[in-house]
Structure 1
Amino acid sequence: MKFMKKSLRKRIWTILIAIISVLLILNLGATLYFYQIACVRNNQPIGQVKTSSPNYSLVQKFNKLPKSTETLTNNDLKLDAWYVPAEQKTNNTVIVVHGFRQDKSAMRQYGQLFHELGYNVLMPDNRGAGNSQGNFITFGYHDKFDVIAWAKYLTDKNPESHISLYGLSMGASTVMMASSEKSLPSSVKNIIEDCGYTNAWDEIVYQAKESYNIPAFPLVYSVSLESKIRQGWFFQEASATKALAKDKLPILLIHGSKDTYVPTSMVYENYKSVKLGTPKEMLVVKNAAHARSFQTNPTLYHQTISKFMKTYNP
């Protein structure tokens, strides 16, 4: 009898170990798959302005502007950017930062917007995108230091520079994360973010649920661990809200009311997180989907940014 019980327990443990092993193998495979989707470079950029867009004429105008290619090296990566001088000579420059799986060409309508407002425009390719080096997408964690490097680059070339940071989606969270860094030069005067997430963890958990109906545990935890192993950071560490709690720079936060990619609720969290006493403004564009606020209401978008820039980087 004892032998039979012992044999049964052994079988049960063998089955349990086999099930756990299969689950671990499946989770490992899923981890590598989703890490590839979320964090590994893909040279097929998305988010270009369609010819049917009311802002497509801005893209066409931007294409005709004289522009130079600027490069710098940060963290042993060569980074690439377009620089477009203003029509009238000025010390004021806007750094325009693109979103997830985009490159600088996707930001041409915004480049034209700031050009028409009278600013020099610098439009970098993030690491892991466009003509910049890098194999990984870092959701702003490393990118924020690249933005700071570009701000220093501009300031070294012109010590009288007054710089604004503008970012869209992942680029928006990147410029928010840069706002609290001690290495950010004093030449940076203000920040505009459009549809940025609170932090990479919240956004990826949200996307796992909305796009794949997958709960956070265990997959998002293991993908975050994979990021720590390969890139040195957990998803929770790429946080806009934590940065904004220290931010002293005036900030304009923009979001679409019908954003289901970076949920609209996140703009309210980001707005609430801004350090007490820091000038802050918010624009929620009615009926705008993700990264579509400018195209949904071009006049309101233009007017709001123009007023904010005249106030904080005239």
Structure 2
Amino acid sequence: MRKSKLIAGIAAGALVLVAGAGLFLGDYVYTSGTKVPCAINADDLENTPQQFFVAGYNSGPFPGDGWNKWVGHDLSDWWLENAKVEDVRIDVAEGVTLAAWYIPASQETNKTVIVTHGIGTSKRDFNTLLPTAMLVKGGFNVLLVDQRDTGESTCTDGRHSAGQEESSDFAQVAKWLNTEKGIPASSLGMFGVSGGAIATSLLPAKTDLVSAFAMEGTIFDFNAAATKEVEFQGYPGFLWQLALVSAQLFHGVNLAETAVTDSIEAAGVRPMLILHGDIDQRLDYQSSVDFYNYAKGVGANIELETFTGADHTEGMLSETDRYAQTLVSFFSEHLN
């Protein structure tokens, strides 16, 4: 009897040790895998709406020679050289202020689009400034926003929350535009790039003040996408599940709090647009297809614009005019 109790005690102790080690490892994966710079990336420091450039050699949004062929690509036709840019700060939560640029269209209008960047970049990144220029030249006001823990916004913990906290922040940004700029919900849209698209996809569940949603790539199966991201960071994919538990247990962050499917259903008749390259190395193109198919299945108003042979955000470079026409036409049709 004593021997069996001893064995059971040892087994229980070993189980606790294994579980503790697993959670410790999961916490490491969470804290390192979701880390973002509470700063502006060095190669973006000089970029402004008036003058911006693509990233340098081996510094683009996707790796390899596929990116390096774009180094030095001329974007000057899209510079907003005469734009009036208002530097604003928006309080979105206790102790959290987002930095943004408000860029009005050349002719007075209520039609306004919130634009935000991908994970690890800021509002100064070329692949956020380029669609901003497309929209401003297309006749829209644009509010270009640094997410929390990036650019010039408040640094809370130096980690992104897979769109959860970020989408809540953007619900407050929409409220700010409504109250401070007088933009009605029917005239307000949002466009998110990459990680910003993930936040955009969750926004319909957070506010009724935004009427149209466009995304440069997005995710549908959050667990599958997070597992792939963990693998991209160099860890075994199964560690994602431990990271998910550790984030909530140790940091109070529920990375799966709002489900993509719930947000799609919350969108109702509000239109959605996905623009995505079909060889994207960072956000799997199939995820956008799955998002589109689910949305269609529940009667949502959604479009999927595919850029054949384009890698991560590359469609805005490889087919710039088509990209601009698609984005401008979508918001022109759906914002009053």
Tell me which interval the TM-score lies in, with the shorter structure as reference length.
0.7 to 0.9
Q: Is the 8 A contact 1:174 1:240 kept in 2?
A: no
SS at match of 2:120: coil
2:308 counterpart residue number: 286
Q: Closer, same or farther in 2 for the Cα pair 1:58/1:228, shift >3 Å?
A: farther
Q: Closer, same or farther in 2 for the Cα pair 1:45/1:28, shift >3 Å?
A: farther
| Percent of matched pairs sharing the same residue | 20
Q: Tell me the CA shift for residue 10 of structure 1.
A: 6.1
Q: Tell me the CA shift for residue 178 of structure 1.
A: 0.7
What per-residue deviation string (whole Å, max 9, x for no partner) do you get for residues 33-54 of structure 1? Answer: 2222233442355695326354
1:94 counterpart residue number: 113
* TM-score, with structure 1 as normaliser: 0.84
SS at match of 1:72: strand
1:273 counterpart residue number: 294
Matched, 1:170 2:195: yes
> Structure 1 CA distance, aligned partners of 2:303 and 2:312?
19
Alignment of 1:1-314 (within 5 A): 23-24=18-19, 26-43=21-38, 49-50=54-55, 52=71, 54=73, 56-57=75-76, 61-62=79-80, 65-76=83-94, 77-106=96-125, 107-133=128-154, 134-135=156-157, 136-161=159-184, 162-181=187-206, 183-185=207-209, 188-198=210-220, 200-212=222-234, 214-216=236-238, 219-248=239-268, 249-274=270-295, 276-313=298-335
Q: Tell me the CA shift for residue 74 of structure 1.
A: 1.9
Q: Tell me the CA shift for residue 290 of structure 1.
A: 1.4
Superposition RMSD on alpha carbons, in Å? 2.9
Q: Tell me the CA shift for residue 58 of structure 1.
A: 5.7
Read off the aligned partner of 1:204 and give its amino acid letter: A
Q: Is the 8 A contact 1:258 1:287 kept in 2?
A: yes
> Structure 2 CA distance, aligned partners of 1:55 and 1:156?
38
> Structure 1 CA distance, aligned partners of 2:18 and 2:224?
25
> Structure 2 CA distance, aligned partners of 1:113 and 1:26?
49
Q: Is the 8 A contact 1:245 1:273 kept in 2?
A: no
Higher relative contact order (CA 8 A, sep 6+): 2
* TM-score, with structure 2 as normaliser: 0.79
Read off the aligned partner of 2:30 and give its amino acid letter: Y
Q: Is the 8 A contact 2:119 2:196 kept in 1?
A: yes
SS at match of 1:283: strand
> Structure 2 CA distance, aligned partners of 1:155 and 1:129?
24
Q: Which moved more, 1:74-83 or 1:27-36?
A: 27-36
Q: Is the 8 A contact 1:173 1:198 kept in 2?
A: no
Q: Which runs of 5+ in 1 are unaligned?
A: none
Q: Which moved more, 1:274-283 or 1:247-256?
A: 274-283
> Structure 1 CA distance, aligned partners of 2:111 and 2:266?
24
Q: Is the 8 A contact 1:200 1:238 kept in 2?
A: no
What per-residue deviation string (whole Å, max 9, x for no partner) do you get for residues 212-263 of structure 1? Answer: 35132xx222211222135534333343233112212111111110012111
> Structure 2 CA distance, aligned partners of 1:126 and 1:40?
13
- Runs of at least 4 residues of structure 1 off by over 4 A? 9-14, 16-26, 44-48
Q: Which runs of 5+ in 2 are unaligned?
A: 45-53, 57-70
Q: Closer, same or farther in 2 for the Cα pair 1:274/1:132, shift >3 Å?
A: same
SS at match of 2:191: strand
